[in-house]
Amino acid sequence: MAVATAVNWGSAFLVSQFFLTLVGAIGISATFWLFALFCVAGGIFVWHLVPETKGRSLEQIQALWSGRGAPTISPAGVFR
């Protein structure tokens, strides 16, 4: 959670530092589209590379990130 907070603060800092410089250099509409492009690129990254964790237990998520793969549950409710 601390990494996500640091990235969020860092991103907000970069946007606030470069916004007026970019508006002066390329105009307000081009600045908007540049930031929109970064948002779309981030969305595509998340959509394709970040696994879905909805409906999974903490143990399944830990197994997924540790490289062992997510354990499956048999119809009897037993982990395999």
List pLDDT tens digits, range 14-40: 999 999 999 999 999 999 999 999 999
Residue 6 falls in which region: left (phi positive, over 0), alpha (psi -120 to 50) or beta: alpha
Q: Which residue has the tokens 């589209």?
A: 33
Report the distance separating Cα 71 and Cα 80, nearest Å. 6
Asked whether residue 77 carries a pLDDT value surpassing 60, the answer given is no
- Res 21: pLDDT: 95
Asked whether residue 69 carries a pLDDT value surpassing 80, the answer given is no
- Judged by DSSP in three states, 3 sits in helix
Percent of residues, the chain, with pLDDT higher than 70: 84
Asked whether residue 45 carries a pLDDT value surpassing 80, the answer given is yes
Report the distance separating Cα 64 and Cα 39, nearest Å. 26
